[in-house]
Amino acid sequence: MTPVRTRFAPSPTGYLHVGGARTALYCWLYARKMQGTFVLRIEDTDIERSTQESVQAILDAMEWLNLNYDEGPFYQTKRFDRYHEVVQLMLKEGKAYRCYCSKERLEALRTEQMTNKQKPRYDGLCRDLKEPGTGSHVIRFRNPLEGVVEFNDLIRGPLSFRNDELDDLIIARSDGTPTYNFTVVVDDWDMQITHVIRGDDHINNTPRQINILRALGATPPLYAHVSMILGSDGKRLSKRHGAVSVMQYREEGFLPEALLNYLARLGWSHGDQEIFSREELVQLFDIPHINKAPAAFNNEKLLWLNQHYIKTGDPLHVAEELAWHMQQLGVDVSAGPALTDLIKAQAERAKTLREMAEKSLYFYRDVQFDEAAVKQHLTQEAIPVIESMQNELTHLKEWTAEAIHQVVQNVAEKLTLKMGKIAQPMRVAITGSTVSPSIDVTVCLLGRERTLQRLSAALLLCEESKAI
């Protein structure tokens, strides 16, 4: 049995979008499932639009998603000598020819065909020239004129295309640079790719590529064309629907495991199972269960998955991602509680790590008071509450959430107040707002020194309220 070899081949003309990430994931999963090889290829022949920044964005996204490749990255711009070699071979063997038609002639031909409601295609004027022309020219592939190209799409089933509907593709431009459909063919041939999993926007390229491969005496790979991803409005996913760049999802606070799990299920299923570990995805993934119909992106579902992974993921891994967000906010994480403890306290209160980071700033920075919360809770009536808590906490021997909870109970009994009447003034005093994890956990994470300092500052605010 031929070893499985898949490839992910993005063009570096922008960021890696979620559709591309899903394709990369499917290629990676199939290679891992079949104990094969996963190849990364950068298709950068569009020199005007390709940038090094886009290349780096792709590499960064692959690393963040942990889609490790076995070979590559290979760059098409570094393989021009190889493409030129194959072009010359095809010319020598009569499988390609020089076309001297001007842009003006081709444009006039196209206009005439469209006027006659014909499919625009090259008419083969230079296909059988008896005398070679002179001047600028391109190289075209001599596509078969008769018969059909048939292949079994692993997702869509049997597909066929008539050769008389296909064009004599340009495989090298007038400046000698190779074209997309040609470089892809040579690369897949040289890299011995066995399975091409890619978007369905490439379906029309497939018969053309198969014909070139057969002309080269190569065995075409098996093809699987994945449907597009739609937005909630049923239109193709784009910037107007929100984040579409993989690294933008990182910036918004998503874990890579959550995004991968979501993308895997966005067009593929295994029964009713929604949550998969990476190991389960490798074990269970199969191409026939990829859906033919387009899948709609649901941000609420992704948020639900993300919070699940925040709550159940390896705390050290989640903490590494949270540390990145803290760094983006300019927070020194050594100036507060351990991030693993913070995650445990905030997991139920945040769907994203960015939200968690923003809600946790008071643990690491000076408190910023919400004016409405201060006006409502740091009043003259709160003075005995804060003074009693300050006194009790000052002498507390064991600084644990359990011990602090007991202190809150003791003060509530002493002042004959409900727990909420103790917790809310305390919460505003030490966090600046009325929202935080339970007061015992919050005080514990904040630490004795910082808590007592903030209680003293809060007492001054309570005193100031007397004069109002």
- pLDDT value of residue 465: 75
Q: What is the chain's mean pLDDT, rounded? A: 95
CATH topology of domain 80-226: Rossmann fold (3.40.50)
Place of tokens 């992704």: 302
- pLDDT value of residue 114: 93
DSSP states of 113-178: HHHTTPPP----TTTT-SS---SS-EEEE---SSSEEEEEETTTEEEEEEGGGS---EEE-TTSPB
Give the residue-averaged pLDDT of 445-459: 97
- pLDDT value of residue 395: 94
Phi, psi angles (nearest 5°) of residue 245:
-85, 135
Strands 195-199 and 148-153 turn out to be unpaired
Domains 80-226 and 366-468 share a fold: no
278: Cβ–Cβ under 8 A, 6 or more apart, which residues? 66, 257, 260
Kindly tell me if the per-residue pLDDT of 467 is higher than 60: no
111: Cβ–Cβ under 8 A, 6 or more apart, which residues? none
DSSP annotation of 467: T
Nearest to 6 by CA among 58, 25, 207, 362: 25
Is the previous residue joined to 73 through a cis bond, with omega within 30 degrees of 0?
yes
CATH 2.60.120.10 fits 366-468, yes or no: no
358: confidence class by pLDDT, cuts 50, 70, 90: very high
DSSP states of 238-307: -GGGS--BHHHHHHTT--HHHHHHHHHHSSB-STT-----HHHHHHH--GGGB-SS-EE--HHHHHHHHH
Kindly tell me if the per-residue pLDDT of 90 is higher than 70: yes
Sequence letter at residue 276: F
Kindly tell me if the per-residue pLDDT of 243 is higher than 70: no
What is the tens place of the pLDDT at every residue in 126-149? 999 988 878 899 999 999 999 999
What is the tens place of the pLDDT at every residue in 250-308? 999 999 999 999 999 999 999 999 999 999 999 999 999 999 999 999 999 999 999 99
Least confident residue range of 26-40, 170-184, 380-394, 453-467: 453-467
Query: Are the CB atoms for 6 and 258 separated by under 8 Å?
Result: no
| Domain residue extents for the chain | 80-226, 366-468
Q: Can you tell me whether residue 70 is helix, strand or coil?
A: coil
Instruction: Output the six-digit token pair for 314.
Output: 């390896």
- pLDDT value of residue 199: 95
Catalytically active residues, by annotation:
239
DSSP annotation of 320: H
Count of residues in the chain: 468
- pLDDT value of residue 47: 84
